[in-house]
A = this chain, B = another copy of it.
Amino acid sequence: MMSKLNGLVRIAPVQSSKKPHCAVGQSTIRRPTVCMTRDSDGLSATEEEIMHATHRALVNSGYAELSISLISDELDKAKSTIYHYYDSKDALLLRFLRFTVNRFEETINTSIGDHPKEDLNHIITTLLPCDLTEEKRQLHSILVTLSPQALEQEVFREQFTEIDARLSTIIEKTVRRGIDANVFRAADPAHVAEYILATIKGTMYSRLTTNREAATVAAKSSLSSYIDSHLIS
């Protein structure tokens, strides 16, 4: 295939082997060979700016309207700069999901103490706060927005699998500690953890996609009463 350019003929590049990039799933993320100042996520300053610009674009316009141009509008750099760091829109979005998942997990890992009952309550309150701050609403909304990608793209699915596995493990450990300390009744910690997690996720999801505020409160209070009367010995 050839395309006209100012009267010249140009060969369409099948694979631009000049640029350094590493495979991530089926798409690729470029990674400069020389070391740069990187944050905890392994991102250079510009890459992090791109992530935040993507966040803003996604929150402001939703997935359907999300485009590279829109992201660069939110960015203090040109559109083509994005392609210097990511091979494609898909590669960018996958990296962005990773970035978002990391930030989501940061909000949870805080304080796993020695009081199983309070710890469990803390986990629930963290994921289902009484009043949702704008920051948290955005974080959760992005996960809802990107989750349909997990239906077909395995690389996305893996990210969501990881979130749930991590959350489940945290809850399971807390339940197990409670059983060992005779605070909770004997039960299968793994089963109970999946059960609590499913309830939390269902409530979280409904909260964002429906107008049934009372349902959130009801589900949350029923979850607490389940823990009080069913789990606590």
Interface of A toward B, CB cutoff 8 Å: 62-64, 141, 144-145, 147-152, 157-158, 160-161, 164-165, 168, 188, 190-192, 194-195, 197-206, 208-212, 214-215, 218-219, 221-223, 226, 229-230
Question: Which residues of chain B are near A219, meaning CB under 8 Å?
Answer: 191, 194-195, 197-198
Determine how close the nearest CB of chain B comes to the CB of A3; give it in whole angstroms: 22
Q: Name which of A63, A148, A212 has the most chain B CB atoms within 10 A of its CB.
A: A148
Question: Which residues of chain B are near A190, meaning CB under 8 Å?
Answer: 218
| Contacts A/B (CB < 8 Å), 23 sampled | A62-B149, A63-B63, A148-B209, A151-B208, A151-B209, A161-B210, A161-B212, A164-B210, A165-B212, A168-B215, A191-B219, A194-B219, A195-B199, A195-B218, A198-B202, A198-B203, A198-B215, A199-B202, A201-B205, A201-B206, A202-B202, A226-B226, A229-B230
Closest to A147 in B: B209
Question: Which residues of chain B are near A64, meaning CB under 8 Å?
Answer: 63-64, 149
The verdict on A160 contacting B209 (CB below 8 Å), with A194-B218, A198-B202, A202-B203 known, is yes
The verdict on A164 contacting B215 (CB below 8 Å), with A145-B148, A151-B208, A205-B202 known, is yes
Question: Which residues of chain B are near A145, meaning CB under 8 Å?
Answer: 148, 151
Question: Which residues of chain B are near A160, meaning CB under 8 Å?
Answer: 209-210
